[in-house]
């Protein structure tokens, strides 16, 4: 932990006289009023088996704004937590990804993805659905996402991303990976964090700006507005910054874990920062960071820690006296409440933790909802995502508008609860995963099996209901979903085990996982398939050419087939972050080429299905197109399914259904 004033920016606390600051070739974000959302306040088509997630409560906790796909696409809804009457606040078809109700109750801010792509904008709307406007991201060349609200609701923090113009060595615009080494920056390029007045009465205030940054998010503001907590940095190297808003000086930095971006919270007096960090640790813990009045750090003391599991989510009660802790315990969640009333951190500053029983396996979000009330977004292996509320940490009750457990799937075939499997990689590294057995199969009967690989690489396989797995199981196909090295939830060393040349070992992990289900008598060695999305799609492409005789087919979803063309085509801030994980596109060019499935495509022996969203700018569709084209040129059966109006995530119900059925049809055809 050390002072860091290398990134000097101008700015001051939000006031009505604050001066607008430059952004690119224009100015800071300007609010764009929108007409009243067309269409009825209720969804035309209501899905019985819908999901509700990402809740944010009004000041007294009686109502919640949340994301729900009951209309076929994730949209912004709001309603009382104890009644089933809900209202649709934005009827546009653009998927919503984040929600934050202002502390004064007057506005609800949210992030939406126009057209379902990767570029996002921040909007706000009044709780009755009026006054809808774009706060940032209206320019299609920019992207914006939410930070926190000021404690009095006068302003909301928003980060705006403006891509730099990248040129080749001769100065001309160039699309090759080598051009990443030569960005040409205009004023405002990169990531800039602002405080924006949703009423439009005060000018935007610049909090921080960084060129070539991978991430930059404002996570909290002190009650008096003098200090800001920011999270920045690429994957695997995130750090927390405490910055004074008066002079933009960074008073301290501290490493923090990947995962949930909401990393910490200031105490009411601003003299303690409660921070979720894995600094010098295998697993993230809660630290109390003591601050001087000007934000200078004095001491950091662990307030809650576990030796073999990490703190995944951190939230604070509105009065700052209670911390809500969610621990990741081998993929499942455990919830605890911790009294944090002590004014100064000390070994005994926090009281003992109090566990809260959960009705389902995984917590995805936990937020305060009025005095003593808590809102939890929960998911489980036999239910769709829903929102639950509790008073004083007891008697968790499902909100009436959340989907019922029995509506998770059609009647007659209940979801399969997975069982954990543990194995050892060929180099001795412990691995694990979740195995789903198709119903009706005789004990001891080897089955056709799909090895499904998650994205990230830092994501983690969790025991939650997955409609894709349910579809595959219904076709008589088992699923084994492992965490290969690089996955989160198993400690910092496990996450870093795939860096650089360690990625070759991650490719071996896939083969070792397939071998384990075979030797354990669970899978038929002649009917194995591999499938995955994003990084899992890359692993699928790679596994088919590194282990060409192991799998009968594969389905690669939004995967990278050539790491060099991926770097050339992805978003600049994604490239900045990915370089730490995969290698630099210039300095590590030979390594990236050797790790690219396209470099070994001649080894491909089996049919392949690729799936991609047409608006994906995270992993551009060309990554799937070039691999499918190469497979066809070699006389192999290869197909490409392009999903319209989708980006890197598939968010629309009709497209998700098409994807699941197409993938399951393909697997059934080639494994039967």
pLDDT digits (tens, 9 = 90+) for 45-95: 445 568 999 999 999 999 999 999 988 899 999 999 999 899 999 999 899
Could you tell me the two tokens for 359?
């009705």
Q: Is the pLDDT of residue 16 over 60?
A: no
443: confidence class by pLDDT, cuts 50, 70, 90: confident
> Average pLDDT of 511-529?
97
Highest mean pLDDT range out of 132-141, 195-204, 309-318, 509-518?
A: 509-518
- Could you give the CA distance from residue 160 to residue 21 in angstroms, rounded to a whole number? 13
Nearest-5° Cα angle at 236, 233 to 237: 40
Q: Are 115 and 104 contacting, i.e. CB atoms less than 8 angstroms apart? A: no
Report the chain's terminal Cα–Cα distance, integer Å: 57
Cα 524–chain centre separation:
34
Q: Which of 185-199, 421-435, 535-549, 556-570 is least confident?
A: 185-199
> Average pLDDT of 298-314?
94
Residue whose C-alpha is closest to residue 31's, from 191, 202, 153:
202
Q: How many residues would you count in the chain?
A: 672
The pLDDT of residue 80 is 96
Write out 20-79 in H/E/C secondary structure: CCEECCEECCCCEECCCCCCCCCCCCCCCCCCEEEEEECCCCCEEEEEECCCCCCEEEEE
The pLDDT of residue 23 is 40
Cα 349–chain centre separation:
32
Q: Please give the helix or strand (H or E) that residue 564 lies within, else none.
A: helix 563-569
Provide, rounded to the nearest whole percent, the portion of the chain with pLDDT above 70: 87
343: confidence class by pLDDT, cuts 50, 70, 90: very low
Q: Are 612 and 557 contacting, i.e. CB atoms less than 8 angstroms apart? A: yes
The pLDDT of residue 116 is 74
373: confidence class by pLDDT, cuts 50, 70, 90: confident
- Could you give the CA distance from residue 646 to residue 656 in angstroms, rounded to a whole number? 10
The pLDDT of residue 31 is 80
163: confidence class by pLDDT, cuts 50, 70, 90: low
Q: Is the pLDDT of residue 350 over 60?
A: no
pLDDT digits (tens, 9 = 90+) for 227-237: 999 999 888 88
The pLDDT of residue 168 is 46
> Average pLDDT of 381-389?
88
- Could you give the CA distance from residue 323 to residue 344 in angstroms, rounded to a whole number? 15
Strand-strand pairing, 478-483 and 447-453: parallel
Q: Is the pLDDT of residue 393 over 70?
A: no
The pLDDT of residue 517 is 97
Q: Which of 35-39, 337-341, 518-522, 638-642 is least confident?
A: 35-39
Fill in the DSSP letter of residue 2: B
- Could you give the CA distance from residue 327 to residue 334 in angstroms, rounded to a whole number? 5
pLDDT digits (tens, 9 = 90+) for 469-482: 999 999 999 999 99
Higher pLDDT, 327 or 7: 327
Could you tell me the two tokens for 152?
């009095």
The pLDDT of residue 432 is 97
> Average pLDDT of 19-47?
54
Nearest-5° Cα angle at 49, 43 to 54: 75
Higher pLDDT, 241 or 410: 241
The pLDDT of residue 214 is 80
The pLDDT of residue 49 is 62
Place of tokens 């080894």: 603
Q: Is the pLDDT of residue 42 over 60?
A: no
- Could you give the CA distance from residue 28 to residue 61 in angstroms, rounded to a whole number? 33
In this structure, the dihedral spanned by the alpha carbons of residues 502, 507, 512 and 517, taken in order and rounded to 10 degrees, is 140
Higher pLDDT, 17 or 96: 96
Provide, rounded to the nearest whole percent, the portion of the chain with pLDDT above 90: 69
Quote the mean pLDDT of the chain. Answer: 87
> Angle between the 502-519 and 535-546 helix axes, to the nearest 10 degrees?
70
Q: Is the pLDDT of residue 421 over 80?
A: yes
Q: Is the pLDDT of residue 188 over 90?
A: no
pLDDT digits (tens, 9 = 90+) for 96-136: 999 999 999 999 999 999 877 778 999 999 999 999 999 99
Q: Please give the helix or strand (H or E) that residue 578 lies within, else none.
A: helix 572-582
């Amino acid at each position: 932990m050390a002072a860091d004033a290398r990134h000097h920016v101008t700015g001051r606390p939000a006031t009505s006289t604050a001066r607008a600051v430059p952004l690119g070739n224009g100015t800071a974000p300007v609010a764009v009023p929108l007409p009243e959302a067309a269409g009825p306040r209720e969804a035309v088509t209501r899905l019985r088996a819908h999901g509700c997630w990402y809740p944010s409560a009004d000041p007294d906790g009686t109502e919640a704004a949340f994301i729900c796909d009951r209309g076929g696409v994730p949209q912004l809804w709001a309603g009382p937590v104890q009644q089933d009457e809900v209202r649709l606040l934005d009827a546009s078809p653009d998927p919503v990804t984040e929600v934050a109700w202002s502390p004064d109750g007057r506005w609800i801010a949210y992030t939406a993805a126009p057209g379902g792509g990767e570029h996002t904008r921040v909007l706000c709307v009044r709780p009755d659905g009026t006054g809808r406007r774009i706060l940032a991201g209206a320019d299609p060349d920019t992207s914006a996402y939410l930070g926190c609200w000021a404690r009095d609701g006068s302003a909301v923090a928003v980060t705006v991303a403006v891509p730099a113009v990248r040129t080749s060595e001769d100065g001309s615009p160039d699309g090759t990976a080598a051009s990443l080494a030569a960005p040409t920056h205009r004023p405002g390029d990169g990531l800039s964090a602002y405080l924006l007045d949703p009423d439009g009465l005060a000018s935007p205030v610049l909090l921080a700006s960084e060129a070539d940054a991978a991430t930059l998010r404002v996570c909290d503001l002190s009650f008096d507005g003098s200090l800001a907590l920011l999270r920045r940095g690429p994957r695997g190297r995130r750090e927390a910054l405490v910055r004074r808003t008066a002079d933009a000086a960074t008073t301290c930095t501290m490493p923090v874990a990947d995962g949930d971006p909401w990393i910490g919270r200031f105490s009411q007096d601003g003299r303690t920062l409660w921070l979720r960090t894995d600094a010098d640790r295998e697993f993230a813990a809660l630290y109390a960071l003591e601050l001087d009045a000007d934000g200078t750090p004095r001491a950091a003391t662990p307030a809650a820690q576990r030796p073999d599991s990490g703190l995944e989510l951190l939230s604070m009660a509105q009065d700052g006296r209670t911390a809500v802790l969610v621990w990741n315990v081998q993929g499942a969640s455990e919830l605890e409440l911790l009294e944090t009333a002590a004014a100064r951190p000390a070994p005994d500053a926090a009281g003992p933790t109090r566990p809260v029983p959960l009705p389902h396996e995984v917590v995805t979000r936990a937020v305060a909802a009025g005095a003593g009330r808590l809102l939890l977004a929960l998911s489980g292996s036999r239910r769709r995502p829903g929102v639950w509320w509790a008073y004083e940490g007891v008697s968790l009750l499902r909100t009436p508008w959340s989907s019922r457990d029995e509506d998770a799937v059609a009647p007659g075939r209940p979801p399969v609860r997975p069982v954990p499997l543990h194995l050892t990689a060929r180099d001795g590294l412990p691995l694990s995963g979740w195995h789903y057995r198709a119903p009706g199969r005789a004990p001891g009967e080897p089955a056709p099996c799909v090895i499904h690989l998650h994205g990230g690489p830092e994501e983690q396989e969790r025991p939650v209901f997955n409609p894709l797995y349910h579809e595959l199981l219904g076709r008589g196909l088992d699923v084994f979903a492992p965490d290969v090295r690089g996955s989160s939830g198993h400690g910092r060393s496990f996450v870093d085990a795939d860096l650089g040349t360690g990625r070759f070992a991650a490719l071996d992990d896939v083969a070792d996982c397939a071998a384990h289900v075979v030797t354990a008598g669970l899978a038929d060695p002649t009917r194995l398939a591999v499938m995955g999305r994003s990084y899992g799609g890359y692993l699928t492409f790679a596994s088919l050419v590194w282990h060409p005789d192991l799998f009968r087919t594969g389905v690669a979803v939004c995967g990278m087939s050539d790491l060099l063309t991926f770097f050339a085509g992805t978003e600049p801030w994604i490239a900045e972050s990915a370089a730490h994980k995969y290698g630099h596109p210039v300095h590590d060019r030979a390594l990236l080429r050797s790790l690219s499935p396209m470099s070994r495509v001649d080894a491909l022996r089996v049919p392949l299905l690729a799936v991609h969203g047409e608006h994906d700018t995270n992993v551009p569709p060309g990554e799937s197109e070039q691999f499918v084209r190469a497979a066809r040129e070699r006389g192999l059966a290869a197909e490409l399914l392009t999903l319209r109006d989708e980006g890197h995530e598939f968010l629309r119900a009709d497209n998700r259904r098409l994807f699941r059925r197409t993938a399951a049809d393909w697997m059934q055809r080639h494994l039967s």
